[in-house]
Amino acid sequence: MKKIRLVLCDIDGTLVTTGCPMGEKTKEVIERLHAHGVMFGIASGRSVHQQLSKQAKAWGFEWPFDVLIGMNGSELWDEMNQTHSDYYQLSKDTIKEIIEFMEPFHLNPFMYYHDVMLCMREDENMRRSSKRNMTKVQIAEDISQMYSEDNAKIMFRMKNEQMPEVEAYCAAHPSEKYRGFKTQTNLIEFMDPRVNKAIAMKEFCKRHDIPIEEVWAFGDMSNDKELVDEAGWGVCLLNGADDTKAVADEITEKDCDHEGFAWYVEEKILKPRGW
C-alpha cells in the first residue's frame, strides 16, 4: 500500500466548483485524513495573506491547514514553522511589458496588491472575484500603478470564447521573462517562467523530511501540471485540462461538480486503510 504523509490540493475545479461552497463529503474526507495524522494543504493561484490564510476557517475547519501554497507556487506558508517565503516575483519592468503585450485584447488587468485587488476598472468579473476571494477591489490611479512594485503575477479575465485566441497568441510569442497560462476557462495569469506549485511543495517537504513519494497531489488546470507530475502520486480531476491529465498517475471517475476528489480519496486512501 502506497504511503501517504501529505495531501496537497488545488482549490477551484479540484476541491470546489468555482464560486460554490465546499461539499459535505469533501469536508468529511479531509477531516478523516487529518484525524489519521495525514497533513493537508492547499495549492492555489490565490494570495496566501489575502485569501488562503482565511480558507480553512471559511470552510468550517477548526484546525489550520499544514501548508499553504499561493500565487501558483510563488508563495509558501509553512504552518509548522510559522514562516512565509516568496519565490521569483515579476519585476516592475516585466509587468509593464506584459500589460503592453496584452493591449490588443482590450482586457482589464488585475493583481493582488497589498490588501486589495488592483485593477483598471470595476466590472462584473471584478465584483465576482472580490466576493469569492473576500478581497476589496481598488481602481488604479493610472496604468503606472500596476507596475509600481514587483509582484508575483498579473491576471486578465475574458469571455470564454476569447480564450483560444489569447492562448494561441501567448504560445506564438514566448518570453524568457514570463509565461502566460490558463487557470480557469476565462482567466489567463502571467508569472515568472520558473514558478510552479511543485517548487513550494518540494521546499516544504525538504524542511520537514517528507519524501516526495509520500505526497499525493490533486489538480485540474495547467497551473497544476507540475504539482501533479512531481508529487509521489498525482491525480487530475475528470474535468481537468488535457496537459494535466497527460502527466497524472490517475484521473478521477467523477468531476469536481460531483465531488470527484472526495470519492477518490475515500476509495483509494481511506477504505484500503480502514480509516
Tens digit of each residue's pLDDT (9 = 90 or more) over 231-268: 999 999 999 999 999 999 999 999 999 999 999 999 99
CA angle 55, 56, 59 (to 5 degrees): 85
pLDDT tens-digit readout, 191-201: 999 999 999 99
Tell me the average pLDDT across 179-184: 87
Does residue 3 register a pLDDT over 80?
yes
The answer to whether the CB of 42 falls within 8 A of the CB of 10 is: yes
Range of the domain at 224: 6-86+195-273
State phi, psi for 238 to the nearest 5 degrees: -55, -35
For residues 202 and 177, state if they share a domain: no
For residues 50 and 181, state if they share a domain: no
> Could you say which of 191, 209, 231 is where a domain stops?
191
For residues 122 and 201, state if they share a domain: no
Does residue 184 register a pLDDT over 90?
no
> Could you say which of 139, 166, 191 is where a domain stops?
191
Overall domain count for the chain? 2
Quick check: is 1 in a domain?
no
Does residue 132 register a pLDDT over 90?
no
The CATH code of the domain that includes 221 is: 3.40.50.1000
For residues 97 and 187, state if they share a domain: yes
For residues 187 and 203, state if they share a domain: no
Tell me the average pLDDT across 19-35: 96
Q: Give the pLDDT score at 183.
A: 81
> Could you say which of 136, 157, 191 is where a domain stops?
191
